[in-house]
Amino acid sequence: MVESDLRRSIPRTDHLLALPEVVAAGERLNQATIKAIISEVQNAARAGEIPVAEVAPAITSKLGSRSASSLAPVLNATGILVHTNLGRAPLSPAASQAITEAAGYVDVEMDLGTGKRSKRGTGVKAALLQASPAAEDVLVVNNGAAALLLAVTAMRGRSTGSGEIIISRGELIEIGAGFRLTDLMTTTGARLREVGTTNRTHLADYADAISDVTSCLLKVHTSNFRVEGFTSSVEVTDLRGLADEHNLPLIVDLGSGLFTPDPALPDEPDIDTALRAGADLVIVSGDKLLGGPQAGLILGRTEAVQTLAKHPLARALRTDKLTLAALEATITHTANPIHDALHMDPNHLRQRTEELAEAVGATVVEHDGRVGGGGAPGVPLPGWAIELPEDCAEPLRLGAPAIVARVHQGRCLVDLRCVSESEDNRIAAAIKRVRADNA
Ligand SMILES: *Cc1c(COP(=O)(O)O)cnc(C)c1O
């Protein structure tokens, strides 16, 4: 067929819009979305990717399967708890329910008793103070980066000149996809005063760098890397003494967000310890080890927290009602998928993995899970996976449910650590289908 004939034979938009299935879809989807799907299919036919006869059925099927958002639910079979590309922490049932309930009108800024305006975030604040008794005050912003931005900006206002932030060279990190915390801090106009070396920084290095333009001392968790061997860094307690001598605020950016030490991750710093050691402000993310929604938590001394809360930038970085609701639910309830995956009983994980291997005819191999998302760098979480040929990974990803396994050294590894046990049967069925198709 010559090209012009082909073009003429593709059903026209007005004909397609009049199809009963398309009209019915208009109850659910708006016209712009429907037209976009129609032209996408027409273009595929024009490009010869689908036959002309398939145009109408393809549109009907796409309209039928169009979900509310283009974000597709995924089963995380990588063994990485806080998987940055998969939305970091999955929310607990309580947090999901809180989001649904907060979706409509809520009393986020109204006292229902008096009918008068109230402060937003009081519930989450109370929950955070209960979970972290060493904190005098708290503030919640959009994410960890926003918390750091606000802290650095607000503390700069206390000092003269451009305001220097003193930070160890061993803590100048890039946290992912080219995002450097140092760039974030210097966009505020503050200057970084780097001290020490990559592997070793001493208290005297900080002390020597302090001048009348210093705005704060900053300690940053190295998150996604670890320096081993001849190393030394300065503890928060020692920095506290120095900060007191010079009346400087001490900010500690922990990244991960454990409230208290976790025996499963002995080297991972926690909020309580950092506050007791004397940090004025501790910064963590809500969607890393805390297992909540994206948020930046700032905990610490009243005066320091209030300096941030009163800064005009705080309004630009505030969280929405959905985040406040999910965060409060995460903190006040016990069930938490990240916590469960971190503390999974190894025998139970092994048993589930063996059952899966038996169901699909694969072998069990040792496989270490990881915290991910910049938590507990290099720390293995010993466990198991089933081993499949590498070419299973793509069809598993593209299937329903979408399953993301780990591709490593020419193998496709399915790790159940971050998968809810109730999904094990669906995973087995999906693997069987893929293996049958690949056979
Ligand atoms: C992850 C991380 C951040 C950024 O937090 P987001 O919530 O991703 O914005 C900042 N500092 C450290 C040390 C981190 O690990």
pLDDT by residue (tens digit) across 188-212? 888 999 999 989 999 999 999 999 9
- Nearest ligand 1 atom to the CA of 287 is 7
Q: What is the pTM assigned to this prediction?
A: 0.93
Structure tokens of 117?
């305006």
CA atoms of 204 and 216, how far apart (whole Å): 16
CA atoms of 146 and 284, how far apart (whole Å): 10
Q: Is the pLDDT of residue 158 over 90?
A: no
pLDDT by residue (tens digit) across 205-231? 999 999 999 999 999 998 777 788 888
Who contacts 396 (Cβ-Cβ below 8 Å, separation ≥6)?
A: 77, 402, 403, 404, 405, 412, 414, 430, 431, 434
Burial class (CB in 10 A: 0-12, 13-18, 19+), 249: buried
- pLDDT confidence of residue 3: 63
Q: Whose CA is nearest to atom 8 of ligand 1?
A: 144
Least confident of 221-225, 345-349, 404-408: 221-225
- The mean per-residue pLDDT over the stretch 366-389 comes to 93
Side-chain half-sphere of 424: how many Cα atoms within 13 Å? Answer: 19
- pLDDT confidence of residue 2: 60
CA atoms of 126 and 56, how far apart (whole Å): 56
- pLDDT confidence of residue 180: 86
Alpha helices (H) in 227-276, listed in sequence order: 236-246, 271-276
Pairing label, strands 179-180, 174-176: antiparallel
Q: Whose CA is nearest to atom 5 of ligand 1?
A: 144
Of the candidates 394, 388, 337, 327, which has an alpha carbon nearest to the alpha carbon of residue 363?
388
CA of 263 to the centre of ligand 1 (A): 22
- Nearest ligand 1 atom to the CA of 373 is 1
Residue in this structure with the two tokens 């907060």, named with its chain if needed: 102
Assigned fold of 74-86+340-438: Aspartate Aminotransferase, domain 1 (3.90.1150)
Q: Whose CA is nearest to atom 7 of ligand 1?
A: 144
Q: How far is C-alpha 404 from the geometric centre of its chain's CA atoms?
A: 17
Structure tokens of 133?
């008794």
Residues with CB under 6 A from ligand 1: 143-145, 148, 175, 181, 220-221, 223, 253, 255, 285, 296, 374
Of the candidates 158, 159, 119, 157, which has an alpha carbon nearest to the alpha carbon of residue 139?
119
Q: Is the pLDDT of residue 176 over 80?
A: no
| CA distances in angstroms from 68 to 75, 131, 293, listed in the order given | 19, 35, 20
Q: Is the pLDDT of residue 376 over 90?
A: no
Assigned fold of 93-334: Aspartate Aminotransferase; domain 2 (3.40.640)
Q: Whose CA is nearest to atom 6 of ligand 1?
A: 144
Of the candidates 246, 257, 261, which has an alpha carbon nearest to the alpha carbon of residue 291?
257
pLDDT by residue (tens digit) across 122-132? 999 999 999 99
Task: For 322-344, give one letter per residue: b (16+ CB within 10 A) or e.
Answer: bbbbbbbbbbbeeebbbbbbbeb
What are the boundaries of each domain within the chain? 2-65, 74-86+340-438, 93-334
Q: Is the pLDDT of residue 162 over 80?
A: no
| CA distances in angstroms from 38 to 16, 97, 210, 323, 403, listed in the order given | 8, 35, 64, 36, 29
* Other beta carbons less than 10 A from residue 188's beta carbon: 21
